[in-house]
Every structure is written in C-alpha cells, then in structure tokens.
Amino acid sequence: MYQRKTRDEYEIQCDYGYGDGFECVCAEDTRKEANQRRFEYLQNDTQMKRIRIVKKRVKIMEGAKR
C-alpha cells in the first residue's frame, strides 16, 4: 500500500514593512485552522502591513507520528 512521504502544511506569513518581505509567523495542518489564525492576526497585530497563507509540502520524518 502506498504511503505518503509528505504532508501539507499551511504557513501564515506576515510582512511588517521593514524591507525584509514576508516571514513565517505560524504554521497549521489544515486550511481552516490557518484561516482562523489569519483572522486572529488581523484582529490583534497592528504593525502588520500584509498577510498571506502559503501551502507547503513538508517531508514526513520516518518513525514520527502526527
């Protein structure tokens, strides 16, 4: 039986306007959780200029369960 070697992860990335570009502030396993964190950042973080969600493929480490 086929077993996936990667899993999907959703990164919440913010740009604070200092010229460094986007930086990852949080990562979630589902898009729904990522949207919830994004909403929380929009409500609470006043210095942030832009925010986005980026889907990444993360290698599953052998023997590790998630």
Most confident of 18-22, 26-30, 45-49, 57-61: 26-30
57 contacts: CB under 8 Å, gap ≥ 6:
6, 7, 8, 9
Q: What is the percent of the chain with per-residue pLDDT over 90, rounded to a whole number?
A: 73
Spatial distance between the Cα atoms of 21 and 26, rounded to a whole number of angstroms: 16
Residue 27: per-residue pLDDT: 96
Task: Indicate whether 46 pLDDT > 90.
Answer: no
Tell me if the pTM is above 0.75: yes
